[in-house]
Structures are given as structure tokens and as C-alpha cells.
Chain A
């Protein structure tokens, strides 16, 4: 069985599972490596069986797609080599370095499909590190994987479609949703509407969540500028002080938990370590790996799919996963799959909707211009916005890696995965330069913190 060189898929979300299925259909036996306990990725995360709930309850409108992914996966399982709860901590030409539990594992690869997904994008607000403040993604993990909620009365703050979805899910789960506070002003420009409406079912879902929340008395406010996350004498979050943009009057809302998210950012470290080219995407305001429409990178044998290439949501991720696998197969034997053309058309069509979303829920760069000096920007290193601005001013540097060298920005446990996008905006504003010139923090192994004992422990060759 292992006579043929190994094809490895990293990530078992919609893109990874779809890629694995396509490879199996073509007669291959791919290795699928995933950090999660169960397949599904962030979007179709499943709880352990004692906490099992109905798909409808967990995934709402996406229940059918979730069920299809999970069913697909069950059918695939005998034909793939699947490794759950396995982290990729480094990658080198021909070799993946994995860690499972306290064990380090070397996995050779000949061809690689990276379906690494995305994580929450954060814009710091003064006080954002208080206990009780979590990301939208983490709020969803609590709900989907742990059948619990982050608080009894919750404020949802940020920007993007996920804000309304999670608020809806929390309200359905019995939390009191104090308010949904949107930084952007969606639907303000009528010219955006046709493009957004092109999202079809996704658009309809969003409209439904908003309508449902409104019908259930949840205040939804747009054009919000958060000023400070308040905390009680125990340090836990107790509320939020904010104002409407351009207005002087401030409002204070009380809560016992706060979920924040300003859209998603692609997880690109593996592609970076492999030497894939990157480009700056002005819409998503992020450096992204460069691929052709099929997901082929500039590095031989390396393909990318899903939100790890560009955040486009789970439906496009599944299509992109299939397309990347077809590209890989085509590069192996020169074949051209008949369905590839149709898949490419779907991806092109989805671009219009995505572009509209990115423009409606634009990254709130203004919030970083006005972020108070005392607000933390890099929580791992305890670095404030003021400290970063001072380094920029004193050194005259606007390159994020130089600012990092002088200030320790992004040198902590998260390696800039959390603070990076916001820090880049902050530096650009402080140096009065275009964010393009700020550059990007480079991926470095280990991709996530790993214990010395794991690195030092028994090393298996192949899994």
C-alpha cells in the first residue's frame, strides 16, 4: 500500500475532507492529519459523544452540509490514513513534523494539500484581555464541542457575518444576548446590495439571523466604536463602554462575557515555511499565499485549499478542496478532470459575494489609529499600543520584523497569530505609511508552542 509516495492532506475541515475524498475516488490512499478531535474543522466541529446534540441545533442552516461532511468522512475512513488530534509543528521539503499527545512524529510527504483554515481576527480594545472576553470562534467551540456557553449575558462585538450567527446560536442556547455591536455599517451603501444578495443561501441565512435577533428583542447597533471593556473588582469583564462613530455620547452596557471577532484570518504558517509566495490582499488586509485558481502554489507538490488560502467560507472551501486534489492528480498523470471547469466557475462566482462582504464588513483600521496608548496590543509580551508607537517613532522603522526585533512584538506564545494583523495596522498608522511597507511576520517552527519533552521524546518515522 505504501509503495506509492505519500500524499498528505493537512486539515479535516470542509476543504481537507473534500480533497481527501477526491483523492480516494481516484484510487489513492491519502494521509489526513488534523488537530481536531473529530473531523469537521472549526465550522463543523463536533462534541464528544456524551455531549452529542442534533445537527440542527449545532449548525442551524448548515446542518445538511455538516451531515454530508460527517457522512462523507465516515465512508472515507476505511480508505484513508487518518490522524486526529495531531499537530503539524514544522514542515521541511519532503518531511512533515507532527506531534500527537507527547510524541513527535516524522511523516514523509511527496505531495501536500494544505487545508489549514482560518482563525479569529482580533482588533484590541482597551481591557480586551480581561477574563470573560473570548473570540467568536472560542464562543462557538464552547457551544459546539463543550455544550456550554461563555456567560449568561453576553455582548457580541466586532464585525462580519459570524457575529450574527454566533449571537443567534447563543440566544438559542439560552444566553441573554445583551447586544450585537457591529463596527461596520453594513447595508448602508445600496450599491453593495446586489453583490451581497448574490450570496444566495448564505445571504438569506444572514438576513434570517438578523431578523430573528431583532424579533427577539436583541439590540443590533452598527457603526460602533468600542472604547473600553470594563471589569469588576475580581478582574472579570463586567461591561463595555462604547459610542456610535462620530458621536460624543458614550453608552455603557453590562455583561458577564463578551465575544469579539472582526472576521477571520487565514492560517498560513505552513505555506510560509514551505516557501510559497505571498501577496497582500487589500480586501482582506492580509498577506496570503499565492496560488492559481486550482490551488497550485509555486512550490512543486504543494497545493492549498479552503480558508487557509483566502477566507471564503465552508461552501467554497469544499469546492476548493476538490479542485486542489484534481490539480494534484492532473500534475501526477496529466489528466484533466471533466468537472474542474464547473468547479472553477463556482469559485469565480463566489468571489463577487466575498468581495462585497469584505467591503461591507471592512477591517476597522480607524479603531487602531485611535486605540489608546495604554491598550495592550501584544498580550503575550504585555506590549501596549503606546510602546509600539514609541518604537516606531524612536527607531524610524516601519517594517514589522524590525519593530518586532526592538519591542518583542509577536515574539510570545502566539507568535503574532493573534496580534499580527492589528499590529500591522497600528504600525502603518504610527509611521504614516502604507500597510504594504509594513510587511509580514514570518512563520517559524514550532507553529504552535510545543513542550521540550515532546520534541525530545520518542520519535517515530512515519505514522
Chain B
């Protein structure tokens, strides 16, 4: 009887990265993906690799992930088109500017360098930006990558190291057992057995958690995105705006401009999502406001995907509060692409080593139940900002 050291449910970027990192630690690993690795939100997201503007609870993961993005080629044999184009966040008014200044200080605590630009700086350095903005902050270290390539590249690398990555393999249920866990796959009578279980089931993560009595509310969102025909290099850093709304990047190398804002329609049960024309039209207007030269560029496609969203827009990452050797990472609320590589590294550490140097305070699902956060009690928040990225 085969008992894997670690089973992973969900082959998104976080799950595939977990498989790879756990294999690198020598654990025997099986990953079960209902469809294809990276076929859902991991593969159809905007492709931003951004630390700037994140909630402090995500920053330890974000900085660690940024390190991994920078050495992706060595890790998975392909850079997934990652380029550090920078990320420019625009302020609409002086109040926004105050927020940017405050965030600069928080980010600095995590070792992230952010440069503040006043209106004149902004117009001089980024003349293609619309003239109604008050100022901006630039994180030169941020960038972008091609989402369609990332999760499959991690899956491929994990497989090459001997992980058993099974696609088209839907899990019907899983139960705790004396050895760890028994996982039942559609069409197979014999369960798959593993000592430890990681739940990276994305928008379906709360469903998996519920099998073990870990009850948390997870909503869905379908970010509405568009891509244009390729144009000559115009936009340097990825663009965002205080208060959310429109985001824009020009695919480095290819030249197409990807922009989005608002949400389309997601049907979690039917695994279908579609963009909405009215949202696309509003996004086009906001995109022109931000970069007026886009007015006559042609949009060639709009799309969306199904993404899990937690009530506070922060993911659940950490051990199950009720079951030993069970770990959750889902509900990334639109932040999962940049975080994915580090989430996998951390889950592999938690599951195999029992601890991770990366602080997960504020991300445990216990925050929704009013019970103490198990990670926060073992690793006090004071340690978090001192964490330095180690080599993989």
C-alpha cells in the first residue's frame, strides 16, 4: 500500500509550487487536479507580480515570492516571461498621496523599496500617463509574467523531480484516517493515501476545507480583463490606482496591452465564467483616462476566470485549526499569482518540516472564527518583518 508523504488537492500555481518544493525536500508527493494544471485562475489572471500596495499580512509572502520569481529559470527551467518592469501606483488626490506615503513606510519594514513621485515627477518620467493624477509611487522591483505558462512550468518541474502530478483527476472527498488521509477520486474505488494533505483548491478551497469541519465562507469573483493588439513599447511599469479600479500593463516583448477593472459573472458549480460587455466598456474608459494614447488601440479579446474571494480580501494560508497535518491555502481574492510560488514553498515547509520562516500572521482561517491564530502564537508578528529570503 502506497502512502504518500504529501497529497495536494488543486493544481493551481500554489499547489504546483507546493509539489515542487516538497519534492525538493525529498517527500513523496501526489498532486490531484480536476482539470489541467493552471487551467483556472492561476492561468487566466492579469499576470501582475506586485508587492506594492499589498496588505501587511501578505507582505512576508509577497517578498519571498518576489525572490522566487527572480530565479524562476533555475527553479523550473523557464522564466515564464517574468520581467521586473516596476509597478506604478497612481494617486488621484492628496488623500491618496497620504496613503502612498504611509504604505511606503510599511513596505520599507519588509525591505521593499518604494519611490514617491509628485505630479511634476510623474509627468516628466511617465509622460504617457493622463494628466489628472496627483502623484504616484513606484516599486521598481515589481513586474509581470505570463500566467498561462507559470503553473504548468511548476507542474512540469515537479513531475521531473518525481512528483506524481495527476490531471483530469477530480477528488470527490477526503477523510482523516489513522495514517493521515484517504482521498477518493472519481471513478476509483481505492482511495489515495497520504500522511499530510494540502488544500490548494482555489475557489473550491472552502468546499474541501468543509470535508474536515473547517468551515469558512468563500465567495467567488471573476475579474473582467481585456487585451489589445500588440503596439510599440509605450507603457513601462504596470499601472494601478489608489482605491482599486483600473489596472494596465503592456506585455513585455509581445507588446499587447492587458487591462482590467470590475468583475464579470462566475458560476463556480458549472466551472464557467464570462466577462460582461458593460464592465469592459467602463474599463476601456478608465484605461483611456489613465493612458490616453490607448484610445485608438484595438481590443481583441476579453476574458475572465473563477477566483475565490474571502470576506476581507485576504487569502487563507496556514494549518487547519482542527485537523493535524492538514494545510489550507485558498481564497486568494485576486492576489494569488504573485504569491503562488512562495505559498508553495511555505506549505512544503509547514507540511514537511513543521515550521516555516515566513510569517503567516493574519492569514489563518481562525481569523473568521474569533479563535487564536495558531501561527501567530508560534511565530509572533515581531519576527515577521525581520524575515530575510533564504536560498531555495
Interfacial residues, chain A to chain B (CB-CB below 8 A): 89-90, 92, 95, 97, 104, 106, 273, 395, 402, 405-406, 408, 411-413, 415, 444-446, 449-453, 455-456, 459
Contacts and interface: CB of A to CB of B under 8 A. Distances in A.
B318 to A, nearest CB: 31
A156 B37 CA distance: 45
B296 to A, nearest CB: 5
A92 B280 CA distance: 13
A415 B229 CA distance: 11
B288 A459 contact: no
Nearest to A97: B277
A456 B228 CA distance: 14
B284 interface: yes
Given A395-B152, A452-B295, A412 B300 contact: yes
A104 B283 CA distance: 14
A413 B299 CA distance: 9
A328 to B, nearest CB: 24
A307 B214 CA distance: 54
A319 B228 CA distance: 39
A411 B226 CA distance: 12
A283 to B, nearest CB: 30
A394 to B, nearest CB: 9
B101 interface: no
B281 interface: yes
Nearest to A453: B295
Contacts of A411: 227, 300-301
A192 to B, nearest CB: 41
B297 interface: yes
20 contacts: A90-B277, A92-B277, A402-B36, A405-B43, A406-B149, A411-B227, A413-B229, A444-B302, A445-B275, A446-B299, A449-B298, A449-B300, A450-B299, A451-B298, A452-B288, A452-B297, A453-B288, A453-B296, A455-B299, A456-B284
Contact of B281 (A92, A273, A455): A455
A456 B281 contact: yes
Nearest to A454: B284
Contacts of B229: 412-413, 449
B212 interface: no
B285 interface: yes
Chain B interface mostly? mixed
B276 interface: yes
Contacts, number: 78
Nearest to A407: B148
Given A95-B277, A104-B281, A456 B288 contact: yes
Contacts of A446: 299-302
Closest 8 CB pairs of A and B: A455-B284, A456-B285, A449-B298, A405-B148, A453-B295, A90-B277, A456-B284, A452-B284
B43 A452 contact: no
A459 B279 CA distance: 13
A395 B37 CA distance: 12
B228 A452 contact: yes
A446 B300 CA distance: 6
Given A452-B295, A456-B285, A406 B300 contact: no
A450 B296 CA distance: 9
Given A450-B299, A455-B281, 9 more contacts: A97-B277, A444-B303, A451-B297, A451-B299, A452-B288, A452-B298, A453-B288, A455-B280, A456-B284
Interface string B265-298: 0000000001111001100110110000011111
A453 B274 CA distance: 22
**Most B CB within 10 A of own CB, among A395, A408, A444, A456:** A456
B296 A452 contact: yes
Contacts of A412: 229, 300
A56 to B, nearest CB: 39
A161 B377 CA distance: 78
Given A92-B277, A455-B281, A456-B281, A415 B301 contact: yes
B287 A452 contact: yes
Nearest to B147: A405
Contacts of B149: 406
